[in-house]
């Protein structure tokens, strides 16, 4: 726990030295020795809806002045559902749930390099809601699953834990800026100039650059940015709003509002599974009334904490990732947002596209778009109406972005690498290893 921050608190201003930053990735005393200029990192992202493994290969530049090249290994990502937090009443099942991910990683990382691979599991929003001692029991089970796996991919118990929301945001920010620099979209000296907006099931994060003169009262988080000149320090504002992920926001709506957030003809059976009309048991059917849905979202966002010291964001450039991107990408495939390069849209455009999505009868929408978007499983098609409405109101009501300025670029990957906090975590670890 850093700087005496009590468990469960979410400080508005979180001050971290680079040593503290890296210790959250993997305690340096327990980190594997990097015996060469290249290696592998196996990062488990235990989110609220599922756990995904990412396998990365890294290469250090000769001389050590430039940042390492970190690339996702093709075929090295896999997700299993549900999230580990759902096993709170039966922790051993959490360990069993990640075995397919371990099997995949052990097939990809060469046996000779497995003992030196970086192995890390960090849980995000869902596990922040699990109380002790259940949380520790879940991590014990996950550690045991890795320790008993026949591969040589191993990690100390300290490598299994909950990632703070602020650090989740910082690592997403590092991922964004390194990938933009790698593709020439920003210069090496501009690494750290682009903000990040992330939306998950349980929480949402914002990270935005701050002037060098910013201080703790402004919510400054010092981070180290490797660069061609050996690196530099920068300051960012990072905050996680727990309880404002899309699943948590959905749970805050009334049944009437939820019905309005689904296209007409889409029905739940009480377990969030969707059917096309038919009988409903302990569930409800969509009415396709986006105005009513928006009103419910606005009410839920009325509890958004604006007292955390977020600086003004007008004129800033942001990358919107994860569920923000999934919703926008689906609306674009549906023909309700125009194709655009770079994919920057205003919140007002998202609202209009969401209204158009909500107005389509579910049977027609499903028939037209099922299987077209690999990021939208069949069971999620109807919920994209809500997802897009929530994204648009989160940007304006939550983060107070101007509704008619296209300051957010919605991306799922850059240069073939998925935009995930996991890539930033690898960069942070390598910077201190």
φ, ψ of residue 155 to 5 degrees: the values are -155, 150
Query: Rounded CA gap, 335 and 101, in Å?
Result: 35
Contacts of 310 (CB under 8 A, 6+ apart): 206, 208, 219, 237, 239, 399, 400
Query: Rounded CA gap, 409 and 407, in Å?
Result: 7
Strand ranges for 200-295 from DSSP E: 203-210, 220-225, 232-242, 266-268, 274-276
Pairing of strands 232-242, 220-225: antiparallel
Burial of 365 (0-12, 13-18, 19+ CB in 10 A): buried
351, 344 Cβ separation under 8 angstroms: no
**Cα within 13 Å of Cα(161), Cβ side:** 17
Per the listing, tokens 């493994």 go with 53
Peptide bond between residue 343 and the one before it cis (omega within 30 degrees of 0): no
Query: Rounded CA gap, 74 and 416, in Å?
Result: 9
Per the listing, tokens 């933009």 go with 180
Instruction: Look at residues 178, 225, 187, 230 and name the one whose alpha carbon lies nearest to residue 64.
Output: 230
Cα pseudo-dihedral 363, 364, 367, 369, rounded to 10: -120
CB atoms within 10 A of CB 79: 14
Task: Identify the active-site residue in 24, 168, 409, 418.
Answer: 168
Would you give the distance in Å from CA 232 to the centre of its chain? 25
Please indicate whether residue 158 is annotated as part of the active site. no
φ, ψ of residue 305 to 5 degrees: the values are -85, 105
- Rounded (5°) CA angle 413-418-422: 140
Query: Rounded CA gap, 46 and 83, in Å?
Result: 6
Query: Rounded CA gap, 160 and 139, in Å?
Result: 6
Query: Rounded CA gap, 111 and 198, in Å?
Result: 35
Q: Which residues are catalytic?
A: 168
């Amino acid at each position: 726990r850093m700087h005496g921050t009590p468990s469960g608190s979410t400080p508005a201003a979180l001050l971290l030295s680079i040593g503290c930053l890296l210790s959250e990735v993997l305690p340096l005393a327990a980190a594997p020795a990097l015996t060469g200029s290249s290696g592998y990192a196996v990062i488990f992202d235990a989110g609220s809806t599922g756990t995904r493994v990412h396998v990365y290969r890294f290469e250090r530049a000769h001389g050590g002045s430039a940042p390492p090249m970190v690339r996702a290994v093709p075929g090295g990502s896999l997700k299993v559902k549900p999230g580990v937090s759902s096993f709170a009443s039966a922790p051993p099942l959490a360990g069993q749930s990640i075995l397919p991910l371990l099997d995949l990683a052990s097939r990809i990382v060469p046996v000779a390099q497995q003992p030196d691979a970086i192995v890390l599991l960090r849980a995000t929003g869902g596990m922040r809601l699990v109380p002790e001692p259940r949380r520790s029991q879940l991590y014990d089970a996950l550690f045991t699953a890795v320790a008993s796996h026949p591969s040589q991919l191993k990690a100390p118990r300290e490598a299994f834990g909950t990632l703070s929301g602020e650090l989740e945001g910082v690592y997403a920010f590092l991922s964004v800026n390194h990938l933009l620099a790698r593709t020439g979209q920003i210069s090496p000296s501009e690494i750290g100039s682009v903000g990040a907006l992330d939306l998950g099931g349980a929480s949402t994060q914002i990270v935005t650059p701050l002037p060098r003169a910013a201080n703790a009262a402004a919510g400054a988080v010092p981070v180290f940015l490797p660069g061609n000149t050996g690196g530099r320090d920068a300051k960012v504002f990072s905050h996680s709003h727990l309880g404002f992920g899309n699943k948590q926001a959905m749970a805050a709506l009334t049944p009437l509002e939820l019905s309005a957030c689904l296209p007409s003809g889409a029905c739940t059976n009480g377990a969030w599974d969707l059917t096309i009309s038919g009988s409903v048991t302990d569930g409800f059917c969509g009415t396709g009334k986006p105005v009513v849905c928006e009103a419910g979202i606005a009410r839920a966002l009325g509890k958004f904490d604006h007292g955390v010291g977020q600086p003004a964001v007008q004129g800033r450039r942001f990358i919107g990732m994860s569920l923000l991107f999934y919703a926008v990408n689906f609306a674009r495939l549906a023909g309700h947002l125009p194709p655009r390069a770079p994919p920057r849209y205003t919140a007002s455009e998202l609202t209009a596209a969401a209204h158009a999505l909500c107005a389509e009868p579910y049977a027609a929408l499903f028939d037209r778009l099922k299987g077209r978007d690999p990021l939208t499983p069949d069971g999620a098609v109807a919920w994209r109406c809500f997802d897009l409405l929530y994204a648009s109101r989160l940007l304006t009501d939550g983060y107070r972005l101007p509704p008619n300025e296209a300051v957010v670029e919605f991306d799922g990957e850059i240069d073939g690498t998925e935009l995930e906090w996991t890539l930033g975590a690898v960069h942070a670890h390598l910077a201190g290893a």
